[in-house]
Chain A
Amino acid sequence: IAGITQAPTSQILAAGRRMTLRCTQDMRHNAMYWYRQDLGLGLRLIHYSNTAGTTGKGEVPDGYSVSRANTDDFPLTLASAVPSQTSVYFCASSEGNEQFFGPGTRLTVL
């Protein structure tokens, strides 16, 4: 089934640990995005990539890094997790006037 997959589905992480959230799409979309969703705040853009090899900062990039080595994969890395990074993380891709979302990763940092 075409779409976006994210891994893991959920994770509990100790503060200070490094964590990479994985995102893969099979629709060959050029643009990909990472958001975090927190109660009452909607979705906030962390980082984005308009094409393989390029990335850009969103609204809340601090503490996160991304890479885009190829069209399909867009991993998000937390170098040293902190409790304020507890959130639901959504990966998305877009082409034209529609944006497709992955199922999300629920991350808890203790």
Chain B
Amino acid sequence: AQKITQTQPGMFVQEKEAVTLDCTYDTSDQSYGLFWYKQPSSGEMIFLIYQGSYDEQNATEGRYSLNFQKARKSANLVISASQLGDSAMYFCAMRENNFNKFYFGSGTKLNVKP
């Protein structure tokens, strides 16, 4: 079974609007971490935000926030006030803390329109 599912292969958003990128995960572990990464066309992987399974509050980092719904096993990324430079691939990932292994989703390609 897929550990991480990203159901939106591609999305468009108007500049300055907010956008939500979906991510659901599958684990039986109690201790895990959820991550989002950005990969621009240049290819490097850029860490955006982290949420621990025991964190009660949603993580925020500047314009990025993670909408963590533990019972639904979802960890959606919300980007507020989209900018043209946000156009990139976005990957959701999970770390199962028992073995410190990471699993990535297939990604969502976000295009920000001017």
Judge whether A101 is part of the interface by a CB distance below 8 angstroms: yes
Judge whether A40 is part of the interface by a CB distance below 8 angstroms: yes
Which single residue of chain A is at the shortest CB-CB distance from B102?
Answer: A45
Q: How far is the CB of B97 from chain A (nearest CB, A)?
A: 10
Q: Within the assembled complex, what's the spacing in Å between the Cα atoms of A44 and B93?
A: 10
| Interfacial chain A residues near B91, Cβ < 8 Å | 42-43
Instruction: Check if A100 sits within 8 Å of B47, measured CB to CB.
Output: yes
Interface residue tally for chain A (C-beta within 8 Å) = 25
Q: Within the assembled complex, what's the spacing in Å between the Cα atoms of A101 and B102?
A: 13
| Interfacial chain B residues near A90, Cβ < 8 Å | 45
* Residue from A43, A58, A88 whose CB has the most chain B CB atoms within 10 Å: A43
Judge whether B72 is part of the interface by a CB distance below 8 angstroms: no
Q: How many A-B residue pairs have CB under 8 A?
A: 51
Instruction: Check if B107 sits within 8 Å of A99, measured CB to CB.
Output: no
Instruction: Check if A103 sits within 8 Å of B104, measured CB to CB.
Output: no
Instruction: Check if B100 sits within 8 Å of A48, measured CB to CB.
Output: yes
Q: Within the assembled complex, what's the spacing in Å between the Cα atoms of A33 and B91?
A: 17
Q: How far is the CB of A65 from chain B (nearest CB, A)?
A: 18
| Interfacial chain A residues near B85, Cβ < 8 Å | none
Q: Which of A58-110 contact B (CB under 8 A)?
A: 58-59, 88, 90, 92, 94, 97-101, 103-104
Instruction: Check if A98 sits within 8 Å of B101, measured CB to CB.
Output: no
| Interfacial chain B residues near A92, Cβ < 8 Å | 45
Interface residue tally for chain B (C-beta within 8 Å) = 22
Q: Within the assembled complex, what's the spacing in Å between the Cα atoms of A103 and B43?
A: 7
| Interfacial chain B residues near A48, Cβ < 8 Å | 100-102
Q: Within the assembled complex, what's the spacing in Å between the Cα atoms of A59 and B106?
A: 14
Identify which of B6, B9, B47, B103 contacts A99 (C-beta below 8 A).
Answer: B47
Q: Mark A27-38, 1 if CB is under 8 A from B, else 0.
A: 000010101000
Instruction: Check if A101 sits within 8 Å of B101, measured CB to CB.
Output: no
Which single residue of chain B is at the shortest CB-CB distance from A90?
Answer: B45
Q: Please give the residue numbers on chain A whose beta carbons come within 8 Å of chain B beta carbons, in ascending order.
A: 31, 33, 35, 40-45, 48, 50, 56, 58-59, 88, 90, 92, 94, 97-101, 103-104
